[in-house]
Structure 1
Amino acid sequence: MSETAAELLPLAAVALTNGPFAAAQQRALRTALDLDPERLLAPFRREAGLATGPGYGGWESEGLDGHTLGHVLSALSAHAAGGSAAARERLELLLTGLRDCQVAHGTGYVGGVPDGVALWSEIENGRIDAQTFDLDGRWVPLYNLHKTLTGVIDAAVYADSALGRTVAAEFVEWWLRVFAPLGDADVEMVLRTESGGLAASLGRWSQFTDDERPGGLAVRLAVRALWEPLAAGRDPLDGLHANAQIPIVVGHAVLAGLGWGEQFAAAARTFWESVTRHRTTSIGGNSVREHFPPRDDWSTMFTAREGPETCNTVNMVELARELHRLDGGAEHLAYIDRALSAHVLSAQHPDHGGIVYFTSHRPGHHRVYSRRETGFWCCMGTGLEAPARFAAAAFAQAPGRVDVNLLVGARARVEDVVVETETDRPFGDDASIHVSVPTPRSFVLRIRLPEGVDAGTAEALVDGTAYRPAPDGWFRIDRTWTDRTTVRLTLPPVLRVEAAPDGSGWATLVDGPRVLAERLPHPAVDPLATDARMGHIARGALLPLAAAPILTPEDVRSADRSGGRVVVLPATPTRREIVLEPFASLHDDRYILAFPFASDGDAAARLTALLAEDARADELDSRTIDAVTFGQQQPESDHALTLAGTESGYNAVHWRRFFGPSTFVLQDWGASAATLRVSWLSDAVGRRMIVGIGDDVVVDRIIDAGDGDGIEIDLAAYADGRSRWVVVVDGAGEGTPRLTEARLMSAAVA
């Protein structure tokens, strides 16, 4: 076997034992165990016709009913694999409840999707009304059911649960039956709606059971519209909903590993290159307002309040693991290391366990954390699940060799060899590795040199012998091991600037494994999310971009690291002193993660550009009370948009055309709305647009090509103190212009 061919150790062979990752994992397990099993099972019992009490609120009662239980099952399965008796007990309790529901259905189906059973009868009878996030009037039912399917598969595969295997086997048979009568065209139509990681889960089950049928269905569900351009080397990602694509591509990598076609390997590699090299920030995150921005224009990443979504990064870690299994690349391990250390770890509050949805990169903004037993967003479920697999790529083995891929404070068992890493990374730098054997054993221990380390001075010390990393980035220690031997790693950190790859003039400072940020205690913010539909968005006031200190290349050369984890940039004639700390430990306050950066040293010119951007934003954003962006899933869902004959697309911005009447809701908590601004992209031909406030039509006109890009509607006649505006848009069968957004304004826009 070649030097790079190693197999990742299974979850049952590894366990976190010390350090920040172990603490975060235990915090997430406590949160999962605190959830009420009866309330988690309530949507499933309701749909099965069984007696039940109330379920949870938030997304669990707004159409995504039941999705959280799938995340919890996956989390508990991984904890049970690692030896947690409490996790195994709760896992079996939940599986028993699911099995009762499955038996009651009598078809193998089990799910919490509202009116979910009838959905498949509608599809079989030819009714397929598939929007991006809506299938026959249900909110992403494939994605929802995928979470349950993955949870029961994880129970079988990771936790070796006999009951999990029974539920998973019958549920997979149900999937095979419902898709069997559908032609390929109908399948592709169904897949227009977000499908989650169905292909990956079915592929994993195919491998686990040595049954090709689930693998064949996984191929049909791999979304040809995505894999075909990717396999051809094209990048179709601009404007796409990021986390609707990532789990699909995880499926491509799984299918490639199972031998279902080189086209899937090519698709996964193209996607990986596009996202990690052109769309990923310093923390390992991607997307703005849940969507991929143009690969060569990152400007919105640093001006929007909604930055990378936690779910995206967790799923990119899954993709990195699958690609590492496929290709053995060190870059996959480096990505996992950065993403877990800088984003996923930072997205969990260490005290109460709340989870962050969006990590804003706008300077001076903040994040909000989920409250106990409210919200139940996708990222809350992911935040419960991801820590259980922190060590999933930490160790690998090959004949005559054990690899330490990640320094996360964990223990691995390879036959009768025990390897344990001890470290407080990412907050510290150095580490120790303890190798224990019952009898003398000769083998190679390889240790990956992490990113951000001075390779020239890094060393591994064993019994007085110093080892240096090889040019390939690995320490290689070939010896006979006896009893308990300690390897002491000295990993001197390198402080560096990481600039946005599009050249947009923004940069982050990174010190060894630590992505750094400045804490801003003022203006104070409420760090907890609200119970409102959009409560996962940090609603604190946006601070001026020009208020952020501007960095130049000279700043790194003058940095002072004398305060341990803290890095100080002394004041200069153009800016104040900056005190930086690890972003992963910065909670509850505003922060600056991405700084304006003058690569040519001209801070004055950079300031002029920031002032111009602030002035432009003030003309619109400062007067906006609420807004819905059309063609984007979360804003449309957050604003209760109903879809009655629409089409959507992306032409530098997202848009949606309405043929029939659709409604949405804008919030006006201060009852101060004065106007409604509706914006569009012009068409070559005139388009009908009807706008209503409640039951009253306020606009009914033809929008011609020369009619500008928006209209301002006076709301004075309706300003009766209301805090909730129900707006209707309608194309009267002819189709509206391609509407891009609707803004509720406190004053008219000049």
Structure 2
Amino acid sequence: MAAGFLKFPTEAAASTPGRVTAVPLQAVRLKPSLFLDSLVTNRRYLFELEPDRLLHNFLQYVGLPPKGAVYGGWEGDTIAGHTLGHYLSALALLYAQTGDAEAKRRIDYIVAELARAQAQDKDGYVGGLTRKDDKGKIDGGKIVFEEVRRGIIKGSAFNLNGSWSPLYTEHKLFAGLLDAHALAGSTQALEVLEKVAGYFAGVFDALDHQQMQTLLDSEFGGLNESYIELGARTGNPRWTAIGKRLRHEKVVDPAIAGKDDLPHRHANTQVPKFIGEARQFEVAGDTDSAAAARFFWETVVTHYSYVIGGNADREYFQQPDTVASFLTEQTCEHCNSYNMLKLTRHLYQWTPQSRYFDYYERTLHNHTMAAQHAETGMFAYMMPMISGGERAFSDKFDSFWCCVGTGMEAHAQFGDSIYWRDEQSLYVNLYISSTLDWKERGLALQLDSGVPDNGKVRLQIDRADGKAPRRLLLRVPAWSEGRFSLRVNGQAQHAKAEDGYVVLARAWKAGDVVDVEFDMPLRLEHAAGDENSIVVMRGPLALAADLGPVSEPYDQPDPALVADASPLSGFKPLPQPGRFLAATTRPQALTFVPFFAQYERRSALYFKRMDSQQWAQEVKRREQARAEQAALQSSAVDMIQFGNEASEKAHKLASDTSFGGAYRRKECRDVRGKGFVEFEMKGDDRPLALRLRFWGSDKGRFNILVDGKLAVEVKVERGNVIDFVDRDYALPPALTRSARTLKFRIEPQHGDTAGPLFGGWLIPA
């Protein structure tokens, strides 16, 4: 994260589980704001979904007739069933947040149907996932785990015995049942969960330590957290013991030792593991678990996070402090940020430092709110950091990505982290308009907030009896730079922030009013590791330049912020709050608006900072690059643009296990495993070479065949070049001479990958 945002101590402060806790979600109600709007939009979508369709596989694979057709997207694949767990959690959160009776009715119905399915299985298994065998036959998911019980563990990062992340899918069901019990009072949910937990405990009991670690190499979500939580909730030490066995040592042990071992690991696979470690510390007192969770959070937030709080490119952590080199279409998977907010809540409970909520607030405003389309209610998987990027939102009934499930949960619970408590105090950590009715302590109040449009906040006490806490702590956001004004009942106060909070102590009574106004200066933040990659910020919001509607393609070079003094000197406020016209952007002036709200607009968030001389050099560099590309196009015998439908069709491209896409605004195609890509190009009498364009840090091994004969064996090692690179492969003249048309075939070696390939040019050798 940018310098100046958070300054971390070299050693984390001592932690005590439960030093502070969140006020129960049931005690908080949202008032009109963009957060309430989002919750209402999400509620509409949740109630459009049909529980019977999400339950389809759970019934079918135990021999019961489904009551609804299975949904599409991921629910039509072997990861089917994960959405139902998310859906249960979302409904439970919605019920706790609003008291909505329809949410409770749906929870009770789903749990009863799960119990009905579970009754058909003598072992207590229940699940909606499936398995596809080598012949393409689809089986119920239980067969996967029965093979594991017998020691058959054929896995990769996301595949276990022919099923897509089956333990991850089961974790979502565990979590949904836990939420239905805790937030909606469903005792039946706990009964169902204990039976299915017993089934999986039996599977795990059959494995020795090494087999268990091999199993954990495949994605398993936060199943460790669910078992530990189940142990805490029931008092049964067996569940806690199983949770401890689900520690993935190759990932967690380096964090315990304070070693960053995250580069090139799949990001969201790791975050839930550390949430489980945090819960293990809280339940079992394991200080190594606390050390691991703290180190992971500090490392990700400091060295791997983008300005919106999200992390990872193409779902993977890259090298630390390199986010400025990975501003792409495939940054910031929403699941990562949702899970990082969960982890933040745990760490804050142990050590209530305001910096945790500086991160929480920025992620909530800039990523969570950006990930849900404000009008349609659909969800984005990735949040592009590339200039001109387009957010791809889900289809209502035919996507069901992991981030759709995450979105359902994330937009059902905005009241869960506003208010926190200890024995003497009430903490206000988020400035979201809401009411608090804390019956346990005899305190009721209203919070009216202008954030993020302005820094004006008012708290009014509606009820305060003898049990009400005397201390009120208001977080002073880092974005205010410590500047604020404060009044209590109209009287100016000269309070100073202490450890990130203003502390007000008095015997509160009905009618008391606290007014605080935080400064909201424009400021610049730079990417970790690159002082010249900057973002314009105001309050908790990242501001981005508006580059036009998504209906119009964007194929221009990135704009820059150019000034010999401060780039902010050219920013002039517009009438609408939080909007500015910038005269210091090049090649033309641009309007800056809140990044999160650009659902149907293309935007530029990160800018290279340059002085006038550097910009002149950059203009020359861009002109030279255009000239070189034009020369290549004119000299090539033929050219195919991989990933481009028209170009691929013109070259009669055929493929298997190959995927088209785009990366850094360049169309591409990759080939995986036993797949191939085949295409035709014009021949030439001269000696020829095939030029292929790669991304510099990618790797792979593949063969190039010409007319069915091996021409070149290619080995691409992962490099340190953060740019596109062209590599030329000379073709044997005997295979190309006198041929009017050449048929090329690219196929991976030994199950490796070929690509992504960003273009192919047949050129004179």
Corresponding residue number in structure 2 for 1:476: 503
Contact 2:464 2:508 in 1 (8 A): no
Q: Does the CA-based 8 Å contact 1:81-1:159 persist in structure 2?
A: yes
Question: Could you tell me how far apart the structure 1 residues matched to 2:315 and 2:452 are?
Answer: 27
Would you say 1:524 and 2:551 are equivalent positions? yes
Which residue in the other structure is 2:147 paired with?
122
Structure 2 vs 1, CA of residues 546 and 426 (structure 1 numbering), >3 Å: closer, same or farther? closer
1:556 paired residue number = 568
Correspondence for 2:596 among 584, 599, 607: 584
Counterpart position of 1:102: 118
Once the two structures are superposed, the pairs formed by residues 408-427 of structure 1 within 5 Å of their partners are: 408-414=432-438, 415=440, 416-427=442-453
Partner of 1:729: 748
**Match for residue 309 of structure 2 among 262, 284, 288:** 284
Q: Does 1:344 align with 2:368?
A: yes
* 1-structure distance, mates of 2:444, 2:31: 13
Task: Give the structure 2 partner of residue 184 of structure 1.
Answer: 209
| Counterparts of 1:501 and 1:616, CA distance in 2 | 32
When residues 200 and 427 of structure 1 are mapped into structure 2, their CA distance, relative to the original with a 3 A threshold, is farther
Q: 1:68 maps to what in 2?
A: 83
Shift of residue 500, structure 1, vs aligned partner: 0.8
Give 1:51's aligned residue.
65
Give the secondary structure class of the aligned counterpart of 1:563: coil
The equivalent of 2:396 in structure 1 is 372
2:484 corresponds in structure 1 to 457
Q: Counterparts of 2:517 and 2:715 in 1: how far apart (Å)? A: 68
Between structure 1 and structure 2, the one with the greater Rg is 2
Work out the CA distance in 1 between the residues paired with 2:601 and 2:394.
15
The alpha-carbon distance between structure 1 residues 13 and 177, as it changes in their structure 2 partners (threshold 3 A), is farther
Residues 321 and 529, structure 2, Cα contact 8 Å, conserved in 1: yes
**What secondary structure does 2:120 align onto?**
helix
Shift of 1:599: 7.6
Residues 11-57 of structure 1, C-alpha deviation per residue, up to 9 Å, x if partnerless?
23323233111211121122111101111111211222211242100
Contact 2:543 2:593 in 1 (8 A): yes
The SS at the match of 1:154 is helix
Give the one of 635, 642, 654 matched to 1:625.
642
Among 14, 22, 35, the residue aligned to 1:8:
22
> Does the Cα contact within 8 Å between 2:80 and 2:128 map onto a contact in 1?
yes
Amino acid at match of 1:79: L
For residues 673 and 291 of structure 1, do their structure 2 counterparts lie closer, same or farther at Cα, with a shift above 3 Å needed?
farther
Spell out the pairing of 1:76-87 with structure 2 (5 A cutoff): 76-82=91-97, 83-87=99-103
Q: How does 1:233-244 map to 2 (within 5 A)?
A: 233-244=258-269
Greater displacement, 550-559 / 227-236: 550-559
- What is the aligned counterpart of 1:210 among 227, 231, 235? 235
- Work out whether residues 66 and 144 of structure 1, in 8 Å CA contact, stay in contact via their aligned partners in 2: yes
1:513-572: CA deviations, max 9, x gaps? 2211122225734xxxxxxxxxxxxxxx55233445546751213422352424434425
Q: Deviations over 1:368-419 (max 9, x none)?
A: 2112212111111111111223222211111221111111122333322113
For residues 343 and 610 of structure 1, do their structure 2 counterparts lie closer, same or farther at Cα, with a shift above 3 Å needed?
farther
Unmatched 5+ stretches in structure 2:
1-14, 131-139, 634-638, 645-654, 660-669, 684-689, 718-725
Matched, 1:272 2:297: yes
- Show CA shifts across 1:428-467 (max 9, x none): 3212112222546561111111231142333243342435
Q: Counterpart in 2 of 1:741?
A: 755
Q: Answer whether contact 1:452 1:495 (CA < 8 A) is retained.
A: no
Distance 1:248 1:552 in 2: 47
Paired with 1:374 and 1:183, the residues of 2 have a C-alpha distance of 40
Distance 2:239 2:693 in 1: 46
Matches within 5 A, 1:501-540: 501-503=528-530, 505-521=532-548, 524-525=551-552
Q: 1:427 to 1:96 in 2, by over 3 A?
A: farther
Q: Which residue of 181, 186, 195 maps to 1:161? A: 186
Q: Is the 8 A contact 1:680 1:740 kept in 2?
A: no
SS at match of 2:507: strand
Amino acid at match of 2:470: F
Deviations 1:267-326 (A, max 9, x none): 111111211011111111111111111113234422x22121111111110111111122
Task: Give the 3-state SS of the residue equivalent to 2:411 in structure 1.
Answer: helix
The counterpart of 2:224, out of the listed 199, 214, 224, is 199
RMSD after superposition:
3.7
Q: Does 1:148 align with 2:173?
A: yes
Distance 1:5 1:552, change over 3 A: farther
**How much does 1:641 deviate?**
7.3
Cα shift at 1:126? 2.2
Match of 1:529 in 2: none
What amino acid is the match of 2:748? V
Q: 1:599-635, CA deviations, whole angstroms, 9 ceiling, x for partnerless residues?
A: 8984334556667788899989x964339xxxxxxxx
Distance in 1 separating the partners of 2:511 and 2:656: 60
Counterpart in the other structure of 1:172: 197
AA partner of residue 78 (structure 1): L
- 2:47 and 2:506 mapped to 1: Cα distance? 44
CA distance in 2, matches of 1:420, 1:677: 62
Identical positions, percent: 26
* Alignment match, 1:633: none
Q: Output the CA distance in 2 between the equivalents of 1:221 and 1:343.
A: 30
Query: Quick one: structure 1 residues 41 and 614, their matched pair in 2 at CA, closer, same or farther if it must change by over 3 Å?
Result: farther
Amino acid at match of 2:503: R
> Aligned to 1:15, what secondary structure does the other structure show?
strand
Question: What is the aligned length?
Answer: 688
TM-aligned CA distance change 1:28 to 1:192, over 3 Å: same
1:133 alignment partner in structure 2: 158
Letter in 2 for 1:11: L
Change (3 A) 1:673 1:386: farther
Q: CA deviation at 1:177?
A: 1.4
2:248 to 212, 223, 235: 223
How far apart, in 2, do the equivalents of 1:557 and 1:213 lie?
Answer: 63
Moved more, 611-620 or 580-589: 611-620
What is the one-letter code of the residue matched to 1:497?
Answer: L
What letter matches 1:663 in structure 2? G
Q: List gaps (5 residues or longer) in structure 1.
A: 526-540, 628-637, 643-655
Structure 2 residue matching 1:597: 3-state secondary structure: strand
Distance in 2 between residues matched to 1:676 and 1:39, nearest whole Å: 49
Query: Tell me, what secondary structure is at the counterpart of 1:90?
Result: helix
The answer as to whether partners of 2:454 and 2:520 remain within 8 angstroms in 1 is no
Distance 1:616 1:506 in 2: 26
Residue 445 of structure 2 aligns with an amino acid whose one-letter code is V
Asked if 1 retains the 8 angstrom alpha-carbon contact of 2:560 and 2:610, the reply is no
Decide which moves more: 106-115 or 562-571. 562-571
| Aligned positions of 1:36-47 closer than 5 A | 36-47=50-61
Q: Deviation of residue 350 (structure 1)?
A: 1.2
- Name the stretch that deviates more: 368-377 or 271-280: 368-377
Contact 2:19 2:350 in 1 (8 A): no
Question: More deviation in 403-412 or 549-558?
Answer: 549-558
Among 458, 463, 469, the residue aligned to 1:432: 458
Whichever residue aligns with residue 478 of structure 1, its letter is: A
Structure 2 SS opposite 1:171: helix
In terms of mean alpha carbon deviation, does 476-485 or 569-578 score higher? Answer: 569-578
Q: 1:504 to 1:148 in 2, by over 3 A?
A: same
* Residues 96 and 184 in structure 2, CA contact (< 8 A), matched pair in contact too: yes
Q: Give the direction of change, closer, same or farther, for the CA distance of 1:49–1:498 in structure 2 (3 Å limit).
A: same
Contact 1:404 1:448 survives alignment (8 Å):
yes
The letter of the residue matching 2:416 is: A
| Alignment match, 1:321 | 345
> TM-score normalized by structure 2?
0.82
